[in-house]
Structure 1
């Protein structure tokens, strides 16, 4: 049965593969790496790419941390034990062009002991302008990789993503969702830990080719000042979700994680406009109308 050392090693390989692919995709910018250690146990590799042809700012981070679990986290997880191990790869990319979407991915593993351990993760897309063909392509890619492991994963995890990536105070989804899952165990899924780990890795390796296709479809589109302002507004919504609702951000802060790595998900610039209203019949209005749960993106 796969152990935490093997999981951490494979996750680092996935981080390396994705960084290589994104540098090639951008064609200009390169990742800058900072290796860090966590007070209390563990550390990670933070890799940031900025000011590129395609990417304004992005991060592809690996961490493997251990130590004593804080009381708020113990209570949230419903566990009594103190010692924990957690590792994962976390990605957020903010592009220059408003027609290239923001993307997020996370694959992670958590362990208290041999009996209490689980996998979590997912990939979701946040377009500034929703384009139907891209949405269908993205969801089909996630369904394809999920179907390899379970006939129920895509439908279940899409619903989970719709519910999780929801900005309650705005009554809108953060984007078009994707797949999201947490605390997967053999008891819940009927799959072994080795099989759940295989799904985690396959999902991680779906990221680069899927996002590269979407980037290349849109990277050379021209855009106006108005469309750039809309991008800044949508980034503001992204910031609101990450700071108010995101469980990973909360976990990092509660476990004394590295602040720069935790907040790398935030864009270089985001704007807020008082009482913003879209114009009737505009692409901005259409995008807002599609920021809802339970849309079948495979049939749109």
Structure 2
């Protein structure tokens, strides 16, 4: 059976692959790496790219941490024991071009350690990929969701529909009554069952990680050379503000990192370098901005 050391090693390899692909895509900037240790146990590799040809700010982070779970997290995760291990890769990319989307990916593994004799170990995988376009371009949305469906269908015919609905609900900004973007897939607490072994669940996690680079490279190259206006960039900054609101108010990964004494710079690397909260900003009727707002809804079928 797979173990946590193998999972962490394979996740590190995926981090390496994605960083190389993104550097080649940008053609200018390189990732800066910072190794860090967590006071309670474990550590990680934070990699940030900034001020590139197309990638204004991005992070591709790996962590493998362990230690004692705070009481608040024990209650949130509904577990009884204290000792935990968690590893994963987390990515957020903010481009400098308003027609190129923000993208987020996370693949992760969680395990409770020192399981009492006679009890099943508590362990699961989670993750997902979602896209946040500043302008929703329907052809791009169909391509993106099609890529995710192909990966899901390799492992279980029900995964895409189930995990797509989960993403629609999860990446929802309640106080704005809009989704963060066009969704994607999201899953949590995925375990071995009658249909999938632990090895297959892990392979699904890795396949999802490895679809990230080719999918985003295609989306970037479709639009990176298009001319944009000052008004479109202002809209980009407005849409970034909604991304910030979600991550600081609702995001479970942010909360987990803060509650488990994670590294603050790594946790908050998902925030864009520039965002604006212009008071009572409203899209003009009939504009592309208004069209985008109309598509920030749950349950849109992009396939």
TM-score bracket for this pair, using the shorter chain length: over 0.9
Question: Is structure 2 residue 234 aligned with structure 1 residue 205?
Answer: no
Distance 1:166 1:142 in 2: 19
1:176-209 Cα shifts (integer Å, max 9, x gaps): 000000001124x731111100000000000000
Match of 1:248 among 227, 246, 253: 253
The residue number in structure 2 matching 1:193 is 198
Residues paired across the two proteins, number: 297
Runs (4 or more) in structure 1 with deviation over 4 Å come to none
Aligned equivalent of 2:51: 51
Q: How far apart in 1 are the matches of 2:226 and 2:3?
A: 46
Aligned-pair RMSD on alpha carbons?
A: 0.8
Matches within 5 A, 1:94-113: 94-113=94-113
Q: Return the offset for 1:135.
A: 0.3
Alpha-carbon separation, structure 1, partners of 2:275 and 2:245:
10
- Separation (CA, whole Å) in 1 of partners of 2:184 and 2:225: 25
Distance between the aligned counterparts of 2:143 and 2:68, measured in 1? 42
**Alpha-carbon distance, 1:275 to partner:** 1.1
Q: 1:127 corresponds to which residue?
A: 133
Provide the residue aligned with 1:280 in structure 2.
285
What is the CA–CA distance in structure 2 between the aligned matches of 1:206 and 1:232, rounded to whole Å? Answer: 27
Task: Give the gaps of 5 or more residues in structure 2.
Answer: 114-119
Unaligned runs of 5+ in 1: none
Could you tell me the TM-score, scaled by structure 1's length? 0.98
Partner-residue secondary structure (3-state), 1:240 = helix
1:15 corresponds to: 15
Question: For the residues of structure 2 that align with 1:190 and 1:270, how far apart are their CA atoms?
Answer: 44
CA distance in 2, matches of 1:186, 1:32: 37
C-alpha displacement of 1:38: 0.2
CA distance in 1, matches of 2:163, 2:183: 10
Aligned with 1:109: secondary structure? strand
Cα distance in 2 for partners of 1:258, 1:145 equals: 32
Secondary structure of the corresponding residue to residue 213 of structure 2: helix
* Aligned-pair CA distance for 1:225: 0.5
Q: Could you tell me how far apart the structure 2 residues matched to 1:246 and 1:190 are?
A: 30
Provide, for residues 43-80 of structure 1, a one-character-per-residue CA deviation record: whole Å limited to 9, x for no partner. 00000000000100000000000000110110011111
Q: 1:172 Cα deviation (Å)?
A: 0.2
Partner of 2:38: 38
Q: Whole-Å Cα distance in 2 between the matches of residues 213 and 71 of structure 1?
A: 44
